[in-house]
Amino acid sequence: MSITQQYLLDAYRASQHGEAAPPAPGGHDWQVAREVRDYRRFRSVVAGHPAQGRIREALGRWLHGRRRHAGC
């Protein structure tokens, strides 16, 4: 059974019992993605690493063979 079928079944059962329908699947995906991003940034700052630009800096080192320092 797919997630859509399960949702439709749960919504039907809720309507039969006079209850509120469950939230639609995937309705909060962007919010979860933002929270994960914010948590990863927080953990990197706590660990003493820069919060932004880590991937770009690593790619720059790999491509150019030298370390790039970010400006203030």
Distance CA(26)–CA(14), nearest Å, equals 19
**How confident is the prediction along the chain (72 residues), in pLDDT tens digits per residue?**
888 899 999 999 999 999 999 888 887 888 888 899 889 888 888 888 776 776 777 777 778 776 555 555
Terminal Cα-to-Cα distance of the chain (whole angstroms): 54
Record the pTM.
0.45
Taking the domains of the chain in order of start, what are their residue ranges?
Answer: 3-64
Tokens of 50: 């820069």
Distance CA(31)–CA(26), nearest Å, equals 10
